[in-house]
Amino acid sequence: MNDLIIRHPNGETEGRDPRDLDPAVLNLPGPLTAIRAKCLDCSAGSPSEVRKCTATSCALWPYRMGTNPRRAGLGSQNPRLNSRFSEKSMSEAA
């Protein structure tokens, strides 16, 4: 039986509270990966349909491409786009 599901004597089932489980049991993806997976689920597994999504009232819509639009430029391969970790700031820290 699945350890994530509780079966009650009357036959009803419910999911366990994830806060009470060992994180290794959950094997959770990162939040953006989980959002992308949900968007793919909503779009019948089609990445092009996720890209074309017009459900702008959905809370996940800005994150549907698997990125956080509020962090634009962070982690970029181009140091000029990533002001927190630019070559200049890294040389000043050394």
Return the biggest CA–CA distance within the chain. 66
Domain ranges of the chain: 29-93
* Residues contacting residue 15 through CB under 8 Å, at least 6 positions apart: 4, 5, 6
Taking only the tens place, the pLDDT of each residue in 10-59 is: 999 999 999 999 888 888 889 999 999 999 999 999 999 999 999 999 99
Taking only the tens place, the pLDDT of each residue in 80-91 is: 444 444 444 444
pTM beyond 0.85: no
